[in-house]
Amino acid sequence: MNLGKYLKSAFLNRWNLLLFLGASGLAFLSGRPDVFWPLVIAAEVGYLGLLGTHPKFQRYVDAQAAKLTRDVGTARAEEGLLRILRALPARSLERYESLRARCLELRQLALEIKDPGAAGAPPPLDSIQLQGLDRLLWIFLRLLYTHHSLERFLETTSGDEIGEEIERLEARLRALGPASDAPQQQRVRKALEDNLATCKARLENHEKARSNCDLVALEIDRLENKIRSLSEIAVNRHEPDFITSQVDEVATSMVSTEKTMSELRFATGLELADEEAPELLRRDKVHVKE
Q: Tell me: the pLDDT tens digits for 34-83?
A: 776 777 777 777 777 777 777 777 777 666 666 555 555 566 667 778 88
Q: Which amino acid, one-letter code, is at 250?
A: V
pLDDT of 133 reads 78
pLDDT at 198: 92
Q: Ramachandran region of residue 285, left (φ > 0), alpha (ψ -120 to 50) or beta?
A: beta
Contact of 159 with 199, CB cutoff 8 Å: no
Q: How many whole angstroms separate alpha carbon 17 and alpha carbon 168?
A: 74
Q: What share of the chain is helix, strand, coil (3-state, %, to 5)?
A: 80, 0, 20
The pTM of the full predicted model, rounded to 2 decimals, is 0.62
Asked if 128 and 110 touch (Cβ cutoff 8 Å), the reply is yes
Q: Which residues of the chain have pLDDT under 70?
A: 1, 6, 20, 36, 61-77, 109-130, 231, 234-243, 260-261, 263-276, 284-290
pLDDT at site 199: 92
Closest of 111, 202, 121 to residue 156, by C-alpha:
202
Neighbour tally for 227: CB within 10 Å: 21
| Residue 219 and residue 143 in contact, taking contact as beta carbons nearer than 8 Å | yes
Packed helices 33-52 and 14-29: angle between N→C axes, nearest 10 degrees: 170
123, 135, 226, 229, 252 from 255: Cα distances, Å:
29, 11, 15, 19, 6
Instruction: Tell me how far apart the alpha carbons of residues 47 and 112 are, in angstroms, rounded to a whole number.
Output: 54
Q: Which residues of 252-278 are buried (b: 16+ CB within 10 A; e: fewer)?
A: eebeebbebbeebeebbebebeebbbb
